[in-house]
Amino acid sequence: MAPGVGGVQLTSLAGDSDELEDVRLLDSYDEIDGGARRIQVTVTGMTCAACSSSVESALKSLDGVITASVALLQSKANVVFNPALLKDEDIKNAIEDAGFDADILPESSTVGKMPQGTLVGQFTIGGMTCAACVNSVEGILRNLPGVKRAVVALATSLGEVEYDPGIISKDDIVNAIEDSGFDASFVQSNEQDKIILGVVGVYGPIDAQFLEVILSGTKGVRQFHFEQISGELDVVFDPEVLSSRSLVDSIQGGSKGKFKLHVRSPYTRMASKDGEEALTVFRLFISSLFLSIPLFFMRVVCPHIPLVYSLLIRRCGPFLMGDWLKWALVSLIQFVIGKRFYIAAARALRNGSTNMDVLVAVGTTASYVYSVCALLYGALTGFWSPTYFETSAMLITFVLLGKYLECIAKGKTSDAIKKLVELAPATALLVVKDKGGKSIEEREIDSLLVQPGDTLKVLPGTKIPADGIVTWGSSYVNESMVTGESVPILKEVNASVIGGTINLHGVLHIQTTKVGSDTILSQIINLVETAQMSKAPIQKFADYVASIFVPSVVSLALLTLLGWYIAGSVGAYPEEWLPENGNHFVFALMFSISVVVIACPCALGLATPTAVMVATGVGANNGVLIKGGDALERAQRVKYVIFDKTGTLTQGKATVTTAKTFIGMERGEFLKLVASAEASSEHPLAKAILGYARHFHFFDNSSATTGTKNDAENDAKSGWLFDVSDFSALPGKGVQCFIDGKLILVGNRKLIEENGIDISTEVENFMVELEENAKTGILVAYNGILTGVLGIADPLKREASVVIEGLQKMGVKPVMVTGDNWRTARAVAKEVGIQDVRAEVLPAGKADVVHSFQKDGSIVAMVGDGINDSPALAAADVGMAVGAGTDIAIEAADYVLMRNNLEDVITAIDLSRKTFSRIRLNYVFAMAYNVVSIPVAAGVFYPSLGIKLPPWVAGACMALSSVSVVCSSLLLKRYRKPRLTTILEIIVE
């Protein structure tokens, strides 16, 4: 989640429709078209793909359910249903009838209207290795008194808990998680009037009392708690009386500099639990390996060393010395090192499910118990059967090795988020001003204490602390870490800057506009986190396979045991096959244990989510934000890419190239009329006209190009424009208003003709000439007379034509849609190489164009940047919003191209294709071990080839199957976006 103001702000509960999509773990409902509703339900007890498949089947069997999908890693079900036929409780009951616990998440419209006194806290949870662990933690949290909701994400090792602080504290929640066998620590909460500070300078009880005196005398402080050992100070304050920064200033000022305070950032306070878990598993693996080596020597090497072997076969009490050593060593491995498997298996069985830990516990326990029984039976009867202590030891060792490699791999998948978090600077240089706005002081403050409206000084080579607007200075800024754009960007007055980017050369003064969770960097972190926890539709294949695979293998294990035992009892195979001093049951049991151990389909469940996690991280590093696995799945099958023209194919920086009058009106008067009419419009063409007119009147080059809000205000104050009345913008036509009681029209032919004004042949010929040169002609009529024409050009982006050619080489058909006239549209399309053009399309009609290409089932992508592109972006199978576009367009899209570069369209499609090729390969890895190894484990080839799979080898295959899948996904980290020169050499068959 994104860091917030003062280190305690969680992602905004209410959200902001004007920002990048704000998605939280506890969000739930969305209203959808047709009267249907979408509801999200947390499902507790799912541990594998078979569980998610059974829940999905139970939901789809309900009358009234339109669609239902279940995400295993997120322990969530997403259901679209007809509220006239079903109630929320019916869905909940259906899941519970299937054997799982269900909890309906509240409506997103009510998120933010939380009960009085309810908080949402974020916690790190270490030690979770599978979905069963997630379900266990969620179940424990939900049963705590005062806890309203709890959601845990395996991918990020984070949990969000909504709780009543009057009933339960954050420490109680942490203790409950730790009592269940996991590590936990508090990160942050949405309690906006609380801050956690680190205090330096308290060295004894007297200093602590002095700190308490300062806090007690500070107006607005409600309560506080200081922990001297950790140096942490928790303060609850009244935000209407006191801000977090003034609180820090009061404490430091009251102590006269004795105490130094800094905000405890959520991310610096949150230790890397993945690393700790990997270290713990590694230590267990090394311990198990160290204890297993003597067992291996006693079995293989020692019989060839007479002196040592004589000691091992010496009788000590009822058993041989070697048997005592094996029993002792394996007992340590089984019950001390392997304790984690029993704990995890118990959690899974409590939830009525099975997972890899259950299979490991069953397999190793069977080998261990049999071996102990064989020893005791030999001591009592004198008939010594072979023991298989080594099987338990080697199985646990191999599984721990697999878990260690999985922990390492899982940690690597979140590298993109870690890098983004590290971009946030620790401090900021605050410029203090007097009442007149003059700078009087500069001082360094914690970056988490920056507030909206602050003026910050950014020195060369330092990071920009927060999003803002440049108010003074000029410099180049490296934004590659956020947008992926390697070329530094020139930032001058009124230019926007992004927090976390690096100022390269000059000194800048910026006025902050967004801080904490509202910054672009925080929004990107949110998008990446959410996308990494998403479920791609292809995962349904794994769910289906697992749903029939698990029960089939369990049945096969029982049949293997019975088959071999019965076959031996009736003499179907020779006695020579039996191990020394063994019997038919022991012989059959070893085959059965091997089948059980190798049967875990965990690799199937990892095949898709691990690849999606890596791909979203790789995309973020390349300036392409992906909003989920479903978007990746659709993008790799794109057949048509529809481009908006203005601001997408073109630079979106329209400039007036021609201004011609036809009735003898002076050009200056003509431009003043047009500029007055367009001054109230937000359209890019209006800004271009206004800037051109301003430059004509004042010869001010800077004002002609900025087009900022300040320019418009200055124009209004200067009085050089006419007063207008009854202004109205006419979508797809232009604008109209009254000046001195006379109607003025500025727009296209349709607007002029609808008002009954004739277009002369001279004017028409001039318009045609403009349009054939890829320029847009703007007609101006005043008081019923056609006055003049403006010619406007919007240069194409330099990469546009090459990108179009590259898409065609990739087998994707480009289409251009624009509200411009046909001549201009065809001229632009010809210049970039697009054959299919849809012109004179109203903004609302762009979605209809998208639908027209979808009729034959084709997957359609839409690339746009403006508000008017939002319906089309939402209607398309894959919406791609140019990052420099509007926030509304970004919200409607599946991909956000942060660099405002069309080359990223190719990157998005290419990355999607590479990802799904990798997913398909993952399924091959996931299933190959089982398809090949299960028959071998069951002894199918033993009669003919003499090949069998010992249980410890089966355990190695089980562990390595998951490792192979994860490592295969990690190879996506080596992805490099294609060069256009390479793409143009592609030949589509």
Q: Which residues are catalytic?
A: 644
Distance of alpha carbon 553 from alpha carbon 556, whole angstroms: 5
Identity (one letter) of the amino acid at 876? A
Distance of alpha carbon 159 from alpha carbon 186, whole angstroms: 10
Query: Do the bridges between strand 467-473 and strand 508-514 make them parallel or antiparallel, or are there none, so unpaired?
Result: antiparallel
The separation between the first and the last C-alpha atoms of the chain, rounded to the nearest angstrom, is 45
DSSP line for 38-73: EEEEEEES--SHHHHHHHHHHHHTSTTEEEEEEETT
Using alpha carbons only, give the angle 828, 830, 831 rounded to the nearest 5 degrees.
65
Cα torsion angle, 632, 638, 642, 647, sign: positive
| CA-wise closest residue to 247 among 224, 273, 277, 229 | 224
Evaluate whether 704 touches 692 at the Cβ level (below 8 Å): yes
Q: Helix or strand or coil: residue 756?
A: coil
Phi, psi of 347 (to 5 degrees): -60, -45
Evaluate whether 139 touches 75 at the Cβ level (below 8 Å): no
Query: Do the bridges between strand 742-747 and strand 734-739 make them parallel or antiparallel, or are there none, so unpaired?
Result: antiparallel
Evaluate whether 352 touches 373 at the Cβ level (below 8 Å): no
| CA-wise closest residue to 671 among 773, 756, 744, 581 | 744
Residue 971: both structure tokens together: 């190879």
- Within 8 A by CB and 6+ apart from 416, the residues are 528, 616, 617, 618, 620, 621
Phi, psi of 499 (to 5 degrees): -60, 140
Distance of alpha carbon 8 from alpha carbon 193, whole angstroms: 9
Q: Identify the bridge partners of residue 427 per DSSP, sorted by sequence position.
A: 446
Q: Which residue has the tokens 């390349």?
A: 622
Distance of alpha carbon 301 from alpha carbon 309, whole angstroms: 9
Identity (one letter) of the amino acid at 84? A
- Within 8 A by CB and 6+ apart from 578, the residues are 568, 584, 586, 587
Using alpha carbons only, give the angle 148, 152, 155 rounded to the nearest 5 degrees.
165
Distance of alpha carbon 8 from alpha carbon 12, whole angstroms: 11
| CA-wise closest residue to 49 among 66, 73, 26 | 73
DSSP conformational letter for 839: -
- Within 8 A by CB and 6+ apart from 203, the residues are none
| CA-wise closest residue to 878 among 640, 635, 636, 644 | 635
Residue 256: both structure tokens together: 């006269």
Evaluate whether 655 touches 688 at the Cβ level (below 8 Å): yes
Distance of alpha carbon 550 from alpha carbon 161, whole angstroms: 33
Count other Cβ atoms within 10 Å, centred on residue 381.
9
Report the residue count for the chain.
Answer: 989
Distance of alpha carbon 790 from alpha carbon 890, whole angstroms: 32
Evaluate whether 395 touches 597 at the Cβ level (below 8 Å): yes
Distance of alpha carbon 771 from alpha carbon 925, whole angstroms: 57
- Within 8 A by CB and 6+ apart from 952, the residues are 390, 391, 393, 394, 395, 398
